Chains A and B, each alone.
Chain A
Amino acid sequence: MTLYDLANPTRFLKLVKAVLPWLIVATVAALAVGLYFAFLVAPEDYQQGQTVRIMFVHVPAAQLALMCYAMMALSSIGSLVWKHPLADVSAKASAPIGAAFTFLALFSGAVWGKPMWGTFWVWDARLTSFLVLLIMYLGIIALWKAIEDPIKAAKVNAIITLVGVINVIIIKFSVEWWNTLHQPPSIIRADGPAIHSSILIPLGLMALAFVLLFVTLHLMSMRNEIMRRRIRAMRMRAASVAPAASSSTVTKAAPAGAR
């Protein structure tokens, strides 16, 4: 089975139907195990106490927020280069999920920041760039809603998404420009992780659970979008037939071949 076979929406729907139950089971299982480890097994931090557990939601959500944008950008390349409707659907389905994870990351960060930093919000570079990311997501969602023709909307959104990728990178590098309060990256480092394994393992489990959650939600959202487009096409077909039928009953003298 090649990528081109998958690109057929009907075949894609069939695949989703076969895979989705397993994915849901895997997601629920991974979330259950991850949450169990995060909330019951992982030790309290000697400085942060119980609030360290917020991190088990915060870090995976932040990762997913960026991963969603990457997914959206890849789909945008797909819809611009190969002009494929399924890539359009994938890009459209990613945006609300990404916005939700970005909001979750910001929200959980604020809840953690109040006891730890003494404030819900600081204009730290990384927080700021996530807020900008949220604005970009919401702008893209608004743009999807503003243009009626789905094919045109997809192309326009692909352009703004790809320009946004460059922007995200530029904003990301402005982290070094500002004096930053946020802790530096502590998982991916050259000399190994700076976190003890008792916390790293639950964190990894939660990250895996969130990725599974994203894949499940994304596939479901794509399926819904394909259905929505089919309904739209059916409605348009019905609408183009209906006036002809009604006009033939009202004015019987009208020639039938007019339409």
Chain B
Amino acid sequence: MSWMKSLFVREYQLANRVGGGALIGVLFFLAVVTIFPFGVGPDMILLSRIGAAILWIGALLSTLLGLDRLFQADREDGSLELLVMSGRSLELVVLIKCAAHWAATGLPLVLATPVLSLFVGLDFQSIVLVTLTLLVGAPALTLVGAVGAGVTVSMRRGGVLLSILVIPLAIPILIFGVSAATAGAIDSNNFLVPFLFLCALTLFGLVVGPLAAAAALRVSGD
């Protein structure tokens, strides 16, 4: 148990201290949300209708931005090889790395969501729903992203390819996350079904993500 805890703490601290840390993701999130009104016009009614989608897309892009650091830094300094050869379950290692990565980069996005919701004119209930769906759905984005990060780990500039590979995988999460957030704001009865689908996708990602990412890391190791 203690190695898991120390691995988590190491990953969390590295993610927080290297390359601007958690703040840089939130800053990017803010920037994406800010450019939307410039694109669609400062119409508050329109913005509040697509507000949940803006926030979800912003969170997706911010997550994608940070993904290439998930395994790449460890590969560059050689600690990834040590983790692969440590004899511990690599799937568990990946899961812990994802959890630490999400705690350092995903959670700040969720915490920033209520504030950014004000810019797109969401009412109180919508703010709660968007934050809730992101809290449940954003881990799935990181877990699915881990597959892409594992697959592209051996590439020098794999960031764009990583995004191209991960975006199709993120589409179902986006569909159910946004439809839960927007349907819930209109009629709370419509909230539960997409929300449960979103929970299912997160649980699914919890299984598939570490398995596939660990397999990819093993391949790139030898």
Contacts and interface: CB of A to CB of B under 8 A. Distances in A.
A172 to B, nearest CB: 10
Q: Which range holds the interface residue count of chain A?
A: 20 to 34
Nearest to A137: B168
Nearest to B213: A159
A146 B164 CA distance: 13
A170 B152 CA distance: 23
Report the contact-size class of chain B (Cβ under 8 Å from the partner): 20 to 34
11 contacts: A80-B215, A143-B152, A147-B154, A152-B154, A159-B150, A159-B219, A160-B165, A163-B147, A164-B169, A171-B172, A174-B175
B179 interface: yes
A132 B168 contact: yes
B216 interface: yes
A163 B155 contact: no
A242 B152 CA distance: 33
A177 to B, nearest CB: 7
Nearest to B158: A146
Given A143-B151, A143-B161, A152-B220, A159 B168 contact: no
Contacts of A166: 208
Interface of B: 147-148, 150-152, 154-155, 158, 161, 164-165, 167-169, 171-172, 175, 179, 201, 208, 212, 215-216, 219-220
| 5 closest A-B pairs by CB | A155-B219, A139-B164, A170-B172, A139-B165, A136-B168
A156 interface: yes
A135 B215 CA distance: 23
B137 to A, nearest CB: 14
B175 A159 contact: no
